[in-house]
């Protein structure tokens, strides 16, 4: 049996007399036309073919060869892509995958299969194929140094010298051996790795008479120490005759820069050693600082600016010693400020 449905008002034609721009509908002029709709069968239904669900692309997690923990500077962290766990249905294979990593402190994803441990922090690793990425794997690493060499002047260590009223054998003007920046930095480092050794290498003539510096002598005596050092901190400059090394054409003094580069090359016998250079603590050394900063920037060395703490008179030992040369050195507060800035850079 065929059912018929009669719809009286399904389609209407409207006639509007056009006399003005604003018109009102006159219902008496509305023409309504009845139409008939035929429904085939009582069980009529529309067959809809469902779309096949899109299979999500699931990428395998990257493999990291080192678990979270403490490791020495220069440790290599390797990443790999597992053979199993590939999404075969989406035709993903290992050749299409890349590994990306990011240090939390940097916030920038980089591509690579390994990274050298040069900083402490959280490392994130993931795999990528086109726009798709895997779950992020995270590891936390704390680096440590086996041996640190501080290249310094009287700020780092000065033996007793009666004519100026100095009786200590540590960083000048600190109230005790454990109050200078060397000992403070040492405590920070040993809190992470108790066996870290901190040694001092005196600057001697590299500040005040650099053209006569005896490189051969020092490399002969200090060769083994240089080879075993994985962190070198250059913290000097207060004895440089700044007026003798003027800048040249807006650039650092070429001669002194050459000697500093040669000096660093002598000390860096461990090719993976990290190098930190600080600015001069005292004010009025623009030429010396220009050399140090240029050397750091051009060679990828870490730069620690002491300018702000050097401006603060409360960081000096004024009034604590009769000799003006001694009192111009950092007091305990100033020593700690130096150690804090260096540690913040290397931790």
All domains of the chain in start order, with CATH? 3-39 (no CATH), 63-143 (2.60.40), 145-346 (3.40.50.1110)
In this prediction the pTM is 0.79
Q: Kindly tell me if the per-residue pLDDT of 190 is higher than 80.
A: yes
pLDDT above 60: residue 53: yes
The answer to whether the CB of 230 falls within 8 A of the CB of 144 is: no
Reduce the DSSP state of residue 85 to 3 states and report it: coil
Percent over 70 (pLDDT), the chain: 81
- Per-residue confidence band for 3, with pLDDT thresholds at 50, 70 and 90: very low
Give the span between the Cα atoms of 333 and 99, in whole angstroms: 46
Angle between helical axes of 254-267 and 286-299 (0-180°, round to 10)? 50
In 307-321, which positions are buried (b, 16+ CB within 10 angstroms) versus exposed (e)? eebbeeeebbbeeeb
Give dist(CA 311, CA 128) in Å, integer.
Answer: 50
Query: Is 266 a residue whose pLDDT tops 80?
Result: yes
In this structure, what token pair is assigned to residue 70? Answer: 């403490």
Can you read off the two tokens belonging to residue 275? 């190098």
101 three-state secondary structure: strand
Please name the residue that has the structure tokens 């395998």: 60
Structure tokens at 214: 């005896």
| pLDDT value at residue 248 | 94
Digit-coded pLDDT (tens) for 271-293: 999 999 999 999 999 999 999 99
Q: What is the pLDDT of residue 38?
A: 58
The CB density around residue 124, as the number of other CB atoms within 10 Å, is: 15
Task: List, for residues 96-150, the tens digit of each pLDDT value.
Answer: 899 999 999 999 999 999 999 999 999 999 999 999 999 999 999 999 999 999 9
The position carrying tokens 């050092």 is: 229
pLDDT given at position 83: 72
Tokens of 31: 């023409």
3-state secondary structure 276-338: EEECCCCCCCHHHHHHHHHHHHHHCCEEECCHHHHHCHHHECCCCCCCHHHHCCECHHHHHHH
> Between 36 and 82, where is the model more confident?
82
């Amino acid at each position: 049996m065929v059912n018929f449905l009669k719809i009286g008002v399904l389609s209407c034609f409207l006639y509007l007399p056009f006399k003005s721009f604003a018109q009102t509908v006159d219902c008496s002029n509305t023409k309504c036309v009845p139409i008939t709709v035929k429904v085939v069968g009582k069980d009529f239904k529309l067959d809809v073919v469902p779309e096949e669900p899109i299979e999500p692309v699931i990428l395998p997690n990257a493999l990291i060869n080192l678990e979270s923990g403490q490791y020495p500077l220069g440790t290599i962290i390797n990443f790999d892509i597992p053979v199993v766990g590939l999404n075969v249905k989406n035709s993903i294979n290992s050749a299409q995958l890349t590994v990306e990593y990011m240090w939390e402190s940097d916030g920038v994803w980089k591509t690579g299969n390994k990274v050298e441990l040069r900083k402490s922090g959280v490392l994130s690793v993931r795999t990528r194929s086109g726009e798709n990425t895997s779950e992020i794997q995270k590891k936390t690493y704390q680096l440590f140094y086996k041996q640190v060499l501080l290249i310094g002047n009287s700020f780092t260590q000065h033996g007793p010298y009666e004519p100026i009223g100095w009786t200590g054998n540590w960083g000048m003007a600190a109230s005790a051996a454990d109050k200078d920046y060397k000992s403070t930095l040492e405590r920070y480092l040993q809190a992470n790795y108790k066996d870290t050794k901190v040694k001092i290498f005196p600057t001697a003539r590299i500040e005040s008479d650099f053209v006569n510096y005896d490189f051969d002598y020092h490399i002969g005596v200090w060769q083994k120490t240089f080879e075993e050092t994985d962190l070198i901190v250059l913290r000097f400059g207060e004895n440089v005759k700044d007026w003798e090394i003027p800048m040249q054409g807006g650039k650092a003094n070429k001669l002194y820069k050459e000697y500093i580069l040669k000096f660093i090359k002598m000390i860096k016998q461990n090719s993976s050693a990290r190098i930190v250079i600080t600015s001069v603590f005292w004010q009025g050394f623009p030429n010396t600082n220009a050399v140090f900063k240029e050397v750091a920037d051009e060679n990828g060395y870490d730069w620690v600016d002491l300018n702000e703490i050097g401006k603060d008179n409360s960081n000096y030992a004024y009034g604590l010693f009769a000799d003006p040369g001694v009192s111009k050195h950092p007091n305990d507060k100033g020593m700690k400020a130096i150690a804090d800035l260096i540690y913040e850079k290397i931790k």
